[in-house]
Amino acid sequence: MLALVIKDFRANWKYVVLGLAVLLTLSLSFIYTALKAPFAVDPDLLIYFLLVIVSSIVFSLLFLMIEQMYNTNMLFASLPISRKQFVVQRYMATYLQFVLALGAHFIGLQIGIYFYEVTDQTILEPIYNPHVWLLNLLAMMFINGFSMPFYFKHGLRKGILIIGLIQCFSCISFVYIMISFTEIWDTFQQLIFTIISLNPFVTIPICIASTLLVSWVSTQISISIYKSKDL
């Protein structure tokens, strides 16, 4: 299993280094740009962390693209690996890629903070808050859990298209419902604030548990899809 998980890194180490360098530069340039506009645009770093999530997911997609490009699913299916192991390793490798991506972002921020001598606590507070990074990781794992079964069912291109359409449709429906029914939006906001105000030692385990549950269900669905799939 370990050989399977690290095969992406072993075979594609140049892409890994290049991808991580891009992520690091992204965070570095964010600090540089943000300093110029004293974080007026993104005072709570919400846009930044959204960027972190999106770019880290794109980084992990890179490996799926390489797999698709070289048709290596066929190669690995001929090795002594069960299909279940193949699916599980895909999830594990993706989580590892997320952690590496977050690491690259964090290092990029540190370099930026060091060179531009950032001392503003309102900026540094979320950057040095481990809960923020953990929630980013959980959000990525959640999105991954939602997307992976589509990848195993339809392949990369069609899978991304379907997930994209579902997400677009969900966003538009969400915005429409919130605009049309303000009382629902108020309740929703209230719920978010209540959750945030709760003790993080309660909310974080709940978030971790629910993400792990989603990942487990997603893995089981992907295994059942991939087990009966013609490659």
Partner 1 sequence: MSNTLEVSNLSKSYKGFHLDNVSFSLPKGYIMGLIGSNGSGKTTIIKIIMNLIMKQSGDVKIFGKDHLANEVEVKKRIGFVYDTPTYYDHLSLTQFKNTIAPFYDEWDDAVYHNLVKRFKLPLHKKLKTFSKGMAMKSAITIALSHNADFIVMDEPTSNLDPVVRRELLDFFRELIQDENKSILFSSHITTDLEQIADYITYINEGKLVFSKTKDEIFEMYALVKGGNELLDTYTKKSFVAVKSLAYGFEALTKDVKATRKLFGNSVVYDKASLEDIMFYTNLETENKVKDASTGY
Q: What single string gives the DSSP state of each residue in 187-221?
A: HHHHHHHHHHHS-HHHHHHHHHHHHHHHHHHHHHH
Nearer to partner 1, 183 or 230 (CB): 230
Rounded alpha-carbon distances, angstroms, from residue 110 to 32, 80, 83, 134, 221: 12, 43, 41, 17, 39
Least separation in angstroms between CB 222 and partner 1: 16
CA distance linking residue 52 with residue 104, whole number of Å: 10
Residue selected from 58, 61, 81, 99 as contacting partner 1 according to rule CB under 8 A: 81
Asked if 130 touches partner 1 (CB under 8 A), the answer is no
- Rule CB under 8 A: is residue 77 a binding residue for partner 1? yes
* 36 burial via Cβ count (<10 Å: 0-12, 13-18, 19+): exposed
The token duo for 8 is 């992406």
- Which 37-76 residues touch partner 1, going by CB under 8 A? 66, 70-72, 74-75
**Locate tokens 């770019």: which residue?**
55
88 near partner 1, judged by CB under 8 A: no
For partner 1, the closer CB: 77 or 162: 77
* 18 touches partner 1 by CB under 8 A: no
17 binds partner 1 (CB under 8 A): no
Nearer to partner 1, 39 or 86 (CB): 86
The Cα 96–Cα 89 span in angstroms is 10
**Applying CB under 8 A, which residues contact partner 1?**
2-4, 7, 10-12, 14, 66, 70-72, 74-75, 77-83, 85, 228-231
